[in-house]
């Protein structure tokens, strides 16, 4: 595979995707919605932070030395961004994959490309590189907006470790969206009718991102009552753990079901690295510990990425060198 | 002629493999909804019993059973979410196919070369789409009743039959909304896939984004039929709460919860505050569609993308 050819194809795909109006509308929607979400959270954070500082000052004046640290962490404000990347980001990546194939087939340039000395690998991973470039632009822009919003409106600038955590999350998000890109492109490449490839990919998205996590979520005993079952029973965390230990088979089944969804793997890793959940076991632990403890999530994500990249390569290789179906 | 167009629409859908795949998925999830509800409920009852025994051993009083008065239909509360997710997507595809297939094959030119009025075609298409969705939900209704009989070990009462029918009627209106979104997008946007993406974008905005801005509901919280109260004390939400009446997915969820009696805090009566906005948006979309059909360029050639 020649890197010059790859870069040419990647650059072409990046520019073409950025020029597409529907895709641009989806990207702008995602950026707007994540910005507003972080802004709302940042204002809320600022209020709570100011109240905590006031309380701390008053406690110190009163001679109280052991003031409990603030439960909220600035990276927690990124939670809506994680969720939007998980939901909307998946659709955007599928659209990118679909457009990448549909554009070449629609303009009938795919067959022109095949007359040139371009290998299947270059034809597969060149446009994929361009799409990943666009995805990276989107993810880093979103993260940048988050950092600025937390700093300016939340009155708390992220420190070096938090920025590193955010950068690691960005990489995980690019991999996650990359999996959906491969899915969209692969299914479109083998479909006679382009729209069918898109719909098939969207059905997979629906199952992986919404249905499986939804089933797992509703099977969670604590999600059956507003406010939580254990809270309504006045049970603390230690009681909850002791009771749930007696339902380990049910919990394992529920967990295994959730783990079949790579969206859930991405969500769990993101929540851990960004310290999003207040009562999580990953609170106040080092980056190394989080990466080690979430190795299973990372491995599954990496496995899905490799499998989907292979699936895309196989489908591009399998697609005929001549127009067929609606392209003919 | 209207019947003919509607019947053609139904035949066309029967041949669409993707439509059939999503239909099977919806019916499968309907069957699963009862089982999941029953399985979760059973586990939680056992969790409650364990918790009570543990508290008793510590000399503490057992709290009241939070599920003691849970109505039988609440086992199907997950159906609300499946309609919002799979049902709405199915409706978008049905609406999309109703227009896009004709436009893509160029058969609208052929149809209007015959003495067919645009209004007849438009009403025929609407009837076809409505019938397809009604058939889907009728099958889902039957499956729900079978699930209830298996789970509760008894036939539902007349009131429960009525409530379930009302729930599916409301679901039909909700799905029709998205079918109209699919139709409208297919009429406005040139290119099948792009039209589908636009309709999907609207669905995502309605299902995940609007509830966050009107009620502070996070996207993942939208997947659970039991909604936890969200702290929306900020001034931002004081303003956006006024737009709650246009948050269609929340209105549908509230209405369904009231009909299926799945949320204890939810009012048991079905309110006009939910029905009126849904009906109003349906009417607006039908009118918009009528205008778009009137402006449809009948000289267009077959276009695949």
**C-beta neighbour count of B95 within 10 angstroms:** 31
Q: In this complex, do B220 and A37 lie within 8 Å of one another by their Cβ atoms?
A: no
CB of B106 within 8 Å of a chain A CB? The answer is no
CB of A192 within 8 Å of a chain B CB? The answer is no
Residue B303 has pLDDT above 70, yes or no: no
Please check whether residue B47 is in contact with residue A230, taking contact to mean a CB–CB distance below 8 angstroms: no
**DSSP string computed for A24-70:** HHHHHHHHHHHHHHHHHHHHHHHHHHHHHHHHHHHHHHTT---PPPP
Structure-token pair, residue B275:
């029905």
Q: What is the pTM of this model?
A: 0.84
How far apart CA A302 and CA A107 sit, in angstroms, is: 34
Confidence at residue B271, expressed as pLDDT on a 0 to 100 scale: 67
Portion 33-92 of A in contact with B at CB < 8 A: 33, 36-37, 40, 43-44, 47, 79-80, 83-84, 86-88, 91
Please check whether residue A126 is in contact with residue A5, taking contact to mean a CB–CB distance below 8 angstroms: yes
Please check whether residue B194 is in contact with residue B296, taking contact to mean a CB–CB distance below 8 angstroms: no
> What residues contact A205, with CB distance under 8 A and at least 6 apart?
A90, A91, A94, A180, A183
Chain B positions in Cβ-Cβ contact with residue A201 (cut-off 8 Å): none
CB of A253 within 8 Å of a chain B CB? The answer is no
CB pairs A-B closer than 8 Å: 159
> A58-91: per-residue pLDDT in tens?
887 877 777 777 777 888 888 888 998 998 899 9
> A246-261: per-residue pLDDT in tens?
778 888 888 888 888 9
Please check whether residue B46 is in contact with residue B38, taking contact to mean a CB–CB distance below 8 angstroms: no
Q: Rounded to the nearest 5°, which phi and psi values hold at B64? A: -65, 150
Percent of the residues in chain B that have a pLDDT greater than 70, as a whole number: 89
Place B265 in a pLDDT band, splitting at 50, 70 and 90.
low
Question: CA separation (Å) from A87 to A171, A206, B190?
Answer: 17, 9, 26
Rounded mean pLDDT, A196-211: 88
Three-state DSSP class for A225? coil
Rounded mean pLDDT, A150-155: 80
Structure-token pair, residue B188:
């406005």
Place A168 in a pLDDT band, splitting at 50, 70 and 90.
very high
Confidence at residue B304, expressed as pLDDT on a 0 to 100 scale: 47
**C-beta neighbour count of A255 within 10 angstroms:** 14
Residue A106 has pLDDT above 80, yes or no: no
Please check whether residue B103 is in contact with residue B303, taking contact to mean a CB–CB distance below 8 angstroms: yes
Percent of the residues in chain A that have a pLDDT greater than 90, as a whole number: 28
């Amino acid at each position: 595979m020649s890197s010059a050819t790859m870069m040419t194809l990647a650059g072409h795909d990046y520019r073409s995707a950025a020029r597409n109006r529907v895709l641009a509308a989806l990207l702008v929607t995602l950026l707007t919605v994540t910005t507003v979400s972080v802004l709302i959270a940042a204002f809320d954070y600022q209020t709570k932070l100011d109240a905590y500082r006031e309380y701390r000052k008053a406690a110190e004046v009163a001679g109280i030395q052991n003031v409990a640290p603030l439960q909220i962490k600035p990276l927690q404000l990124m939670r809506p961004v994680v969720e939007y990347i998980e939901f909307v980001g998946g659709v955007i990546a599928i659209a990118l994959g679909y457009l990448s194939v549909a554009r070449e087939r629609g303009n009938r340039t795919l067959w022109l490309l095949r007359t040139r000395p371009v290998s299947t690998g270059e034809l597969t991973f060149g446009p994929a590189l361009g799409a990943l470039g666009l995805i990276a632009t989107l993810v880093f822009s979103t993260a940048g907006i988050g950092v600025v919003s937390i700093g300016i409106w939340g009155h708390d600038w992220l420190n070096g470790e938090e920025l590193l955590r955010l950068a690691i999350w960005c990489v995980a998000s690019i991999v996650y969206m990359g999996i959906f890109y491969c899915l969209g492109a692969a299914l479109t490449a083998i479909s006679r009718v382009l729209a069918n490839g898109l719909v098939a990919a969207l059905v997979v998205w629906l199952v992986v991102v919404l249905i499986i996590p939804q089933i797992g979520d509703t099977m969670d005993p604590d999600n059956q009552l507003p406010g939580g079952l254990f809270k309504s029973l006045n049970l603390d965390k230690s009681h909850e753990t002791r009771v749930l230990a007696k339902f380990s088979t049910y919990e394992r089944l529920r967990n295994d079901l959730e783990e079949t969804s790579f969206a859930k793997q991405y969500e769990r890793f993101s929540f851990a690295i960004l310290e999003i959940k207040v009562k999580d076991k990953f609170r106040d632990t080092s980056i190394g510990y989080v990466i080690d403890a979430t190795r299973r999530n990372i491995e599954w994500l990496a496995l899905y990425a490799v499998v989907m990249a292979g699936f895309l390569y196989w489908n591009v290789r399998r697609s005929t060198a001549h127009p067929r179906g609606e392209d003919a | 002629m209207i019947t003919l167009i509607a019947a053609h629409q139904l035949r066309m859908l029967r041949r669409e493999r993707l439509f059939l795949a999503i239909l099977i998925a919806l019916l499968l999830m309907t069957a699963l909804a009862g089982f999941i509800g029953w399985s979760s409920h059973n586990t939680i009852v056992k969790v409650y019993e364990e918790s009570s025994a543990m508290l008793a051993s510590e000399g503490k009083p057992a709290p009241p059973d939070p599920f003691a008065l849970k109505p039988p239909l609440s086992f199907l509360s997950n159906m609300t979410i499946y309609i919002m997710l799979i049902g709405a997507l199915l409706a978008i595809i049905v609406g999309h196919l109703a227009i896009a297939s004709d436009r893509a094959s160029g058969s609208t030119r052929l149809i209007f070369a015959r003495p067919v009025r645009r209004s007849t075609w438009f009403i025929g298409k609407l009837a076809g789409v409505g019938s397809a969705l009604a058939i889907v939900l009728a099958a889902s209704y039957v499956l729900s009743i079978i699930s209830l009989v298996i789970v509760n070990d008894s036939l539902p009462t007349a009131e429960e039959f009525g409530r379930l029918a009302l729930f599916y009627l409301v679901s039909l209106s909700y799905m029709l909304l998205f079918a109209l979104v699919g139709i409208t997008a297919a009429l406005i946007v040139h290119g099948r896939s792009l039209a589908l993406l636009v309709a999907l974008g609207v669905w995502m905005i309605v299902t995940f984004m609007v509830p966050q801005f009107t009620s502070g509901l996070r996207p993942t919280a939208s997947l659970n039929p039991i909604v936890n109260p969200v702290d929306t004390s900020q001034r931002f939400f004081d303003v956006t709460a006024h737009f709650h009446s246009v948050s269609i997915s929340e209105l549908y969820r509230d209405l369904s919860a009231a009909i299926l009696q799945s949320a204890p805090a939810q009012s048991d009566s079905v309110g006009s505050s939910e029905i009126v906005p849904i009906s109003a948006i349906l009417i607006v979309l039908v009118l918009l569609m009528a205008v778009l059909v009137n402006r449809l360029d009948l000289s267009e050639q077959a276009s695949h993308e």
